[in-house]
A and B are shown apart, each in its own frame.
Chain A
Amino acid sequence: MNTTPQDILAGLALALAGGRVRIVDLTQTLSSEFPAIALPPEMGQCQPFRIEQISAYDERGPGWYWNNFSCGEHTGTHFDAPIHWISGRDLPNNSVDTIPVQHFVAPACVIDCSPQVKDDPDYLLTPADIEDYEAKHGRIPAGAWVLMRTDWSKRHDPEAYQNFDETGQHTPGPSTEAVRFLVEQRDVLGFGSEAIGTDAGQGYHLRPPYPCHYYMHGAGRYGLQCLSNLDLLPPAGAMLICPPLKIEKGSGSPLRVLALVGATA
C-alpha cells in the first residue's frame, strides 16, 4: 500500500472519532471483592486488591478524595511476563519493564469454547479446537494473542468464579498439546484467559504441571488473565492493547486491556 504511517494513524483517529473503530474494555474492575488467586496455605500468597481512603473531603483532607491501594502483581486482570515462571527466568527482556513495547499492541484471535465450558468447567482447549477455529477464521498469524473465550467472566459471584471444591479449583484452560502447538507451530505472542489463571484450575495435574505457564513463558511469551467481554470481540481482527506497569524486574502487573474492533455495519 502507499498509505503513509501518518495516514494510517490519522485514519485511525478519524475512525475512532466517528465510531467506525470502537474500543472494547476487556478489564475486570479492581475491587476488594474480586477474587485473588489462592495457593495452598503453605505457599506465599498473592495479595488481594485492597484500597483504603486517605481522605474523602473530610478532616483528613478537606478538599480532596484519594486512596492508597495494595495488591499483588497478579491481582485482577493482569499480565504475566516470562520471568514469572521458572522456565522463563533466564530469557532476555523477560520482565514487564524490559519487554519490547511493540508487543503491547498486537492482533488477537478469539477461540470460543463457551459451549463446551458450560457443561464442563474443567474443559481443556485442544489442538482440534484450534483446527476447527482456523478452518472457519483462517490461520492464526505469528505474533498474535490467542484468547480462550469461555464466558467465565460472566460468573460475577466470586465463589462461582473461583469454583473450588474439595479437589481444588475447576476452571477451563488449554491442554499441554494445545499450548505446545500454539508456541511451536504458530509462534503466538501469548495466551489470554477469562479465568483466574491461564492454565486450567486443575492444571497442576497436567504434564508438565501448568503447561501454559511452562511453555509460553519458557518460550518468552506472555499471559493475560481475568479478561472479560471476549464475547464482544470478533473471532479475528481485533487489536489488543495491553501494556503492563513498568515495574522494575516485575513478573507482571494489573493493567487495562483494551481491544480495537471495527464496528459492525
Chain B
Amino acid sequence: MTMPLMKPPRKNPVLRTRQMNLPPGARGRVALGLMAAAAEGRFALQVCADCGALQYPPREACHRCLSPRLPWQAQTGEGELLAATTLAHSNDLFFRERLPWRLGMVRLDAGASVMVHLHGEVGEAPCRVRVGARLDRAGQAVLIGYPEKGTAHMADDTMLREMTSDPKHRKVLVTDGKSPVGQAVARAMAQAGADIVWVGHAEPWKQLPGLAELAALPQVTLVPLDVTDERSVNERAGEIGGKVDIVVNTAELHRGFGIAARRGTDVAKSEMEVNYFGLLRLAQAFGPALKGRAADGATHATAWVNLLSVYALANFPSHGTFSASKAAALSLAQCLRAEMRGAGIRVVNVFPGPIDDEWNQNLPPPKLAPAALASAIVKALRDGVEDVYPGDVAQEWLARWRDNPKVLERELAAGGM
C-alpha cells in the first residue's frame, strides 16, 4: 500500500537547496537500445532472430547461437522475484542520499535474470512481478519491478517518483494560455493536481476566447509572457522562475504556407521567432533555476515539455515554413535535453499531428483535439516518458518516417497524409 503523496510543507528559505547527484549514467551503445524504447514508454529486449533466445544484458551476439541478428522486441516483463534486498549503504551519491532503497533479482518468464528497482508494493520473494523499463534521473533506462496489481496511489512510490515528473503538488508554467492547446494543457495540469499553474499570455489587447474562464480556476495565475520579447521572458523568469517545477512551452505560431504561397520572409520569421527563438529565450531564462532545483524536496523541479510537431521530422510542404520552424525547434530541444541532463531534468518532446484548431481547418480528420493532446502531455509526465507522438496521424507519420524517411518525404511532397 503506497502512501499518497501529501502536499509538502513550505520550504525553509534560510536552508541551502539540495543539489542533484545523478545515478550512474554510463551505458554501452547496445544497451542504449533499452533507453530508446523506454524513452517512448516501452520495455523491449533483444530476442535472437535466429534461435529465439532472449538476451540480457544487451549485447552484440546471441549468447546461445552467436547470431548478430538481435532485434528489440516488446516484453510483457512478467516474471518471478527470486530475491530482494534493501540497500542500507551505497558509495553512489544518488542512492546514498535516498536510502533505504529496494532492489530485486527477477527471473523473467521469457528467460533472463534481471536486476530491478523494486516498487514498494512488491512483497518478499518468491512472488510474481511485472518488470517494466523507465528512464531514471540520468535519463538512462533502468528496469523496475512492479507488483502484479498495484493500489490506487502506486505512482506515489518514492522510487517511482524519481523516474517520473508527476504534476501533482507541483508548480507548472504553461507559456501560452491563449491558444486552445495552451488552455487545454493548463486545465489538464490543474486537474492533475498541480499546486499552481502560471499561464502566460502575450498581446493582452488581443482577446481570444477562453482565457478569462481559465483564469477563474483557483490554481491558475495569468502572467504576461511574450516569448518574442527578451525582456518579458527575463522578467517573468526573475519573478516566478525560482518556483517553477515544470515548464510546458505551448507558445506556437502556425501559418499554412510553404515557399511560393507567401512572398516575403516576415511570416516565416514570425514562426521562427515564436517556435524557435521563443524556445531559446525561455530556455536561457528559465533553465538555470529549473536545473538548480532538481533535487529541491519531494516536488522538486523535474521537466521541460516542448510542444513540437510531427512535421518536425519530415516537412509538410503546405505548412512548409511552419514545419521548418518546428524542425529547428526539435534540434534545439535536443540541445536542451543534453544540457538539462546533467541536472536530472527531463526534457519531453511532444510531436502531435495536426491539431483540431483553426490553422488546420482545411486538413481532413483525424485531427487531435487539444484536450487529447493535453492528456497525452500529462500522461507523459506521469510515465516519465521523453518522446511522445500523440494521436493516429502522429503514430502513422512516425512509423513511416522510421521505416524510410526518404519514402515519407516523397509521399508528403505528393500531397499524401
Direct contact of A and B (CB under 8 A): yes
- Chain A contacts to B: CB under 8 angstroms: 32, 35, 38, 44-45, 47-48, 50-53, 158-159, 161-166
With A44-B267, A45-B270 as given contacts, are A50 and B207 in contact (CB-CB < 8 Å)? Answer: no
Q: Does B204 contact A (CB under 8 A)?
A: yes
| 10 additional A-B residue pairs with CB within 8 Å, beyond A32-B226, A50-B228, A162-B205 | A44-B266, A45-B266, A45-B270, A48-B228, A50-B230, A52-B230, A53-B230, A158-B204, A161-B205, A163-B205
Query: Chain B nearest CB: distance from A42 CB in Å?
Result: 9
On whether the beta carbons of B231 and A35 are closer than 8 Å, the reply is no
Query: Chain A nearest CB: distance from B160 CB in Å?
Result: 42
On whether the beta carbons of B232 and A38 are closer than 8 Å, the reply is no
Interface of B is mostly: loop
On whether the beta carbons of A164 and B264 are closer than 8 Å, the reply is no
CA distance A166 to B232 in the complex (A): 27
On whether the beta carbons of B266 and A32 are closer than 8 Å, the reply is no
Number of residue pairs A-B, CB distance < 8 angstroms = 35
CA distance A163 to B207 in the complex (A): 10
Q: What residue of chain A has the Cβ atom nearest to residue B228's Cβ?
A: A50
Residues of A within 8 A of B296 (CB): none
Residues of B within 8 A of A159 (CB): 204-205
Residues of A within 8 A of B270 (CB): 45
On whether the beta carbons of B229 and A50 are closer than 8 Å, the reply is yes
- Chain B contacts to A: CB under 8 angstroms: 203-207, 226, 228-232, 264, 266-267, 270
Query: Chain A nearest CB: distance from B159 CB in Å?
Result: 41
CA distance A47 to B253 in the complex (A): 14
Q: What residue of chain A has the Cβ atom nearest to residue B230's Cβ?
A: A52
On whether the beta carbons of A164 and B206 are closer than 8 Å, the reply is yes
CA distance A45 to B265 in the complex (A): 12
Q: List 22 A-B contacts (CB under 8 A).
A: A32-B226, A32-B231, A38-B203, A38-B205, A38-B206, A44-B264, A45-B266, A45-B270, A47-B266, A48-B229, A50-B228, A50-B230, A51-B231, A52-B230, A53-B230, A158-B204, A159-B205, A162-B205, A163-B205, A164-B205, A164-B206, A165-B207
On whether the beta carbons of A35 and B205 are closer than 8 Å, the reply is yes
Residues of A within 8 A of B267 (CB): 44
CA distance A53 to B267 in the complex (A): 24
CA distance A50 to B174 in the complex (A): 22
Q: What residue of chain A has the Cβ atom nearest to residue B281's Cβ?
A: A52
Q: What residue of chain B has the Cβ atom nearest to residue A162's Cβ?
A: B205
Residues of B within 8 A of A44 (CB): 264, 266-267
